[in-house]
Amino acid sequence: MEHRQATHHVPVWDLPTRLFHWALVGLVVVMLASGLAGRTAIHLTLGPALLALVLFRLVWGVIGSPTARFTQFVKGPGAALAYLAAARAGTARSIGHNPLGAYSVLALLGLLLAQTATGLFATDDIAANGPLAHMVSSASVKLASKLHRLGYWVLLAFVALHLAAIFFYRFVKKDDLVRAMVTGTKEVPTDIDGIRFASSARALAALVLCGLLVWGTLALLPPPPAF
């Protein structure tokens, strides 16, 4: 008879990380849809919010709970290859992001940061311009717009790959990543302990500071010239 290893549910994802995740999902969906539909007013309004959210995650990756910190899961290529080998052998052990998935996290944050940055300087060549487009040359605006349009399709492909990975883990690996990101807990072997979460007040302070940085900077910069 097959022996099933004893398991228990332990805390893995703190509330700030989970709220960030689902807020990011919502913002990315709306941003992609508004970009495709040409709803530039919505797109331009939510762009700074997305930038503030990404900046918050970068800060939380330094001062947040253990599973949110980059030092906990971002390792070198050797660790990623070792994890891949262990996963194939069925002996991989990971409570949060694994060393292989870390590259996906970094790629997504980098892509979103680049996409929001280029959006600040981009134009739709009709009537809508990014809030900083008037501060750079027309050549720079053209380049930013080209990169922003390219980034749209790269991000769309990344989202598709991410969804495929979620389904793979759910139905092949029997690891429900979505449930863990909703409840904050994960079923693991009993010899693996949970973690102590960082203060949510610290996360709120970080989010407020990131928001002030983004909107405060945009408010202080000179407005576009009136025609």
Residue 40 lies in a domain: yes
pLDDT of residue 3: 55
Question: Which of 108, 85, 100 shows the shortest CA–CA distance to 161?
Answer: 108
Residue 3 lies in a domain: no
Residue 136 lies in a domain: yes
Residue 204 lies in a domain: yes
pLDDT of residue 160: 96
pLDDT of residue 227: 56
CA atoms within 13 A on the CB side of 121: 18
Query: Do the Cβ atoms of 18 and 182 come closer than 8 Å?
Result: yes
Residue 97 lies in a domain: yes
pLDDT of residue 1: 45
User: Which of the residue ranges 67-76, 128-137, 171-180, 188-197 would you say has the lowest mean pLDDT?
Assistant: 188-197
Q: How confident is the model at residue 226 (pLDDT cuts 50, 70, 90)?
A: low
Residue 88 belongs to domain spanning: 8-187+197-220
Residue 182 lies in a domain: yes
Q: What is the CATH number of the domain that holds 33?
A: 1.20.950.20
Mean pLDDT value across the chain:
93
Q: How many domains does the chain have?
A: 1
Asked if pLDDT for residue 2 goes beyond 80, the answer is no
Rama region for 182: left / alpha / beta (φ>0; ψ in -120 to 50; rest): alpha
CA 25/CA 20 separation, integer angstroms = 9
The 10s digit of each residue's pLDDT in 35-46 is 999 899 999 999
Residue 208 lies in a domain: yes
Query: Do the Cβ atoms of 120 and 136 come closer than 8 Å?
Result: no
* pTM for this model (two decimals): 0.93
Residue 22 lies in a domain: yes
As a whole number, mean pLDDT of residues 209-221 equals 97
DSSP string, the chain: -PPPPPEEEEE-S-HHHHHHHHHHHHHHHHHHHHHHHT-HHHHHHHHHHHHHHHHHHHHHHHHS-GGGSHHHH---HHHHHHHHHHHHHT----SSS-TTHHHHHHHHHHHHHHHHHHHTT-B-SSS-B-TTGGGS-HHHHHHHHHHHHHHHHHHHHHHHHHHHHHHHHHHTS---HHHHHHHSEEEEETTS---PPPPHHHHHHHHHHHHHHHHHHHHHSPPPPP-
pLDDT of residue 13: 97
User: Which of the residue ranges 50-54, 69-73, 82-86, 140-144 would you say has the lowest mean pLDDT?
Assistant: 82-86
